[in-house]
Structures are given as structure tokens and as C-alpha cells.
């Protein structure tokens, strides 16, 4: 199989989510891997999404590793999507921590160097029948509220202890713990992450820079890169129009890529780029072309200097 793209260009799992739904079925997990590789990627991202999906992935982790080995590809980052880690229910939290450790075991089994999750979800109360979703929309978040009986200071201190525990678990597996920004979470911005990092004080706590999500909430990407340069070794890269959460093919939105790549040179960035394009929130007509075109653009713009 002919490889096309630099190994630091990663096909993010959003490709599979966009094709098969959220979460995608596990019974064709190997096929999902093969489809990403068929696009020309030497590196891919995989996920275990909440309890049922992550547990099913855990059961086939050795089979996954065998196929990865056969294909001669890398999986530098494994996502463990466990929003219950920030729950106020101690029993729920303990169950989620156990699942997180399973996620770490999967990461080690497939040769990843990090586990990745969205930033902590505040203890919101939502309207009934909120579905499992990647991103809560702005209207849903606007109508969410914090329970009246919650002691925020106590909650925050408890959350920090949980984050320390997660970092320690990840470190015991020689993994970094990557926090990903998303609308509504406590680390949706640069300031949010730096505030969390200052409280947790663990050197393996990292930030997954996300160009589209941060651009959509009006962050200046160049300034954020400068402020976060000691905390990032993985970037989720996609374009954005600037007026809502979406993940577009590179050059199809409003991000100034010349300034972005120039800033990466200034901060001497050496990590991976996870092409993170698609999702129900994005208008991407031809998913395969969007990934291939973006990978070619990134290779030409950044890796062919």
C-alpha cells in the first residue's frame, strides 16, 4: 500500500464518526481503520466513546494492535470520551475512572502516547431526553443550569483532585492526558485550560489545540499558540467560518493559515496535526476529498519547506 502523507498528519476519528454515526459501531472497527489508511494516512486517531463503546473496543484491543502492526501505521493518540468524570455523583465518577484506566490500557496496547478527552463538563442540569452527542449546541447550553444546592467551591476542589488522579493514572502508563476544548466545557478556551493547569499542577496534563473550536469562540489563534506553546504537542486542525461550531476542509473557512503556520514556526512546534473534519454540525459534501485535500494542503504548506 502506497503511503502519501507525512506521519505527523493524523486522520482523526471524526472521519469515522461522520461516516457511521456517534458512536460508530465497533463490529466494523478494523474496517474503519483500513478506510482511514486507504486515504493515504500513516497515522490515525482512534476512540472509545462512553462506557458501552469503550468497553467493546477494550475487548478487541489486541486485534486492533495486530492490524495496526500489519498496516505499519501509528496511533499516537487514543480518545477516551467519558463526560461522567466530572459528575457530582461519586459512584458514577469511580465507574468512569475505572473506564479511564481501561482507556489507558487500550492506548498502551495500540502504541499511543496519550489519552485524550474533552475538558470537564460542568455539572449542568439539562432538559429531559438530551441525546448522547459530541457537542451540545448553543441553545442547549443556554438553557442548562447549575443545581441550586451545588457548592461550587467544593465541586471545583473535588474536580481538581479527580484531574490529578487521572493524570497520575495516565502517567503510570507513561501517557500524557490531553484535554480538548469544546463549547460548554470548563476548558473551552486558552484561559480555561491554563486555569485548570495551574490548579492541577501535573506535568503530563496537555492541551489539544483545536483550530476550529477556538476560532469559533473568537480566540486569536496566534496569541493562543504563544501562550500554550509549553502545553501542546497535538493540534486538531480544521477550518471554520467564524460564526458557529463547525469543522471544515482547510481553506474553506476564514482562518488565516499563513499566520497560523508562521506562528507554529516561531514557537517551534514539533507535534502532530489531527485532521478533524466533518460531523453533523459541518457542511462537508465529500468527506474523503476533504481529508485528502486538507492533508495535501498541510503537507505542502508545512511539511515541504
- Read off the pLDDT of residues 198-254 as tens digits, 9 standing for 90 and up: 999 999 999 999 999 999 999 999 999 999 999 999 999 999 999 999 999 999 999
Q: pLDDT by residue (tens digit) across 88-119?
A: 999 999 999 999 999 999 999 999 999 999 99
Average predicted confidence (pLDDT) for the chain: 94
In the predicted structure, residue 133 carries a pLDDT above the cut 70: no
Average pLDDT score over residue span 60-72: 98
Residue 196's pLDDT band, with cuts at 50, 70 and 90, is: very high
In sequence order, the 6+-apart residues with CB closer than 8 A to the CB of 227 are: 190, 194
Q: How confident is the model at residue 129 (pLDDT cuts 50, 70, 90)?
A: low
Instruction: Tell me what the mean pLDDT of segment 25-29 comes to.
Output: 97
pLDDT of residue 135: 64
Angle at CA 158, nearest 5°, toward 46 and 138? 55
122 has pLDDT over 90: no
pLDDT value for 136 = 66
Q: Which residue segments constitute the domains of the chain, with CATH numbers given? A: 9-302 (3.20.20.150)
Is residue 190 a contact partner of residue 175, using CB atoms and an 8 Å limit?
Answer: no
pLDDT, average across residues 293-304: 95
Residue 1 above 50 pLDDT? no
Mean pLDDT value of segment 285-299: 97
Whether the per-residue pLDDT at 132 is higher than 60: the answer is no
The answer to whether the bond into 121 is cis (omega within 30° of 0) is no
| Average confidence (pLDDT) over 182-188 | 88
If you search the block for the grid coordinates 462537508, which residue do you land on?
284
Predicted local distance difference test score (pLDDT) of residue 146 = 81
Q: Report the run of H or E that residue 254 belongs to, with start and end.
A: none
Least confident of 142-156, 183-197, 223-237, 244-258: 142-156
Q: Is the pLDDT of residue 130 over 80?
A: no
As a whole number of angstroms, the distance between CA 299 and CA 138 comes to 34
Give φ, ψ of 225 to 5 degrees.
Answer: -60, -45
User: Residue 147 has what pLDDT?
Assistant: 84
pLDDT grade for 137, boundaries at 50, 70 and 90: low
The pLDDT assigned to 8 comes to: 97
Instruction: Give me the pLDDT at residue 121, please.
Output: 85
Amino acid at each position: 500500500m502506497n503511503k502519501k502523507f507525512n506521519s505527523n498528519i493524523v486522520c482523526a476519528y471524526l472521519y469515522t464518526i461522520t461516516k457511521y454515526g456517534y458512536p460508530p459501531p465497533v463490529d466494523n472497527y478494523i474496517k474503519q481503520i483500513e478506510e482511514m489508511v486507504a486515504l493515504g494516512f500513516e497515522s490515525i486517531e482512534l476512540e472509545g466513546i462512553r462506557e458501552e463503546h469503550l468497553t467493546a473496543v477494550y475487548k478487541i484491543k489486541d486485534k486492533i494492535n495486530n492490524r495496526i502492526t500489519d498496516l505499519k501505521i501509528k496511533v499516537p493518540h487514543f480518545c477516551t470520551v467519558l463526560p461522567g468524570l466530572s459528575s457530582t455523583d461519586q459512584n458514577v465518577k469511580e465507574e468512569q475512572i475505572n473506564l479511564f484506566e481501561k482507556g489507558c490500557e487500550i492506548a498502551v496496547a495500540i502504541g499511543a502516547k496519550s489519552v485524550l478527552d474533552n475538558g470537564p463538563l460542568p455539572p449542568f442540569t439539562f432538559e429531559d431526553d438530551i441525546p448522547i452527542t459530541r457537542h451540545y449546541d448553543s441553545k442547549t447550553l443556554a438553557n442548562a443550569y447549575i443545581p441550586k444546592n451545588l457548592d461550587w467551591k467544593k465541586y471545583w476542589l473535588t474536580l481538581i483532585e479527580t484531574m490529578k488522579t487521572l493524570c497520575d493514572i495516565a502517567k503510570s502508563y507513561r501517557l500524557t492526558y490531553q484535554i480538548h476544548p469544546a463549547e460548554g466545557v470548563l476548558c473551552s478556551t486558552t484561559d480555561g485550560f491554563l486555569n485548570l493547569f495551574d490548579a492541577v499542577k501535573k506535568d503530563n496534563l496537555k492541551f489539544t489545540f483545536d483550530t476550529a473550536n477556538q476560532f469559533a469562540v473568537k480566540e486569536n489563534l496566534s496569541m493562543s499558540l504563544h501562550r500554550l506553546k509549553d502545553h501542546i504537542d497535538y493540534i486538531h486542525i480544521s477550518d471554520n467560518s467564524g460564526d458557529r461550531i463547525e469543522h471544515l476542509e482547510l481553506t474553506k473557512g476564514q482562518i488565516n493559515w499563513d499566520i497560523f503556520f508562521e506562528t507554529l514556526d516561531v514557537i517551534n512546534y514539533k507535534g502532530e496535526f489531527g485532521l478533524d473534519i466533518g460531523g453533523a454540525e459541518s457542511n462537508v459534501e465529500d468527506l474523503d476529498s476533504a481529508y485528502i485535500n486538507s492533508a495535501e494542503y498541510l503537507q505542502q504548506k508545512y511539511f515541504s519547506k
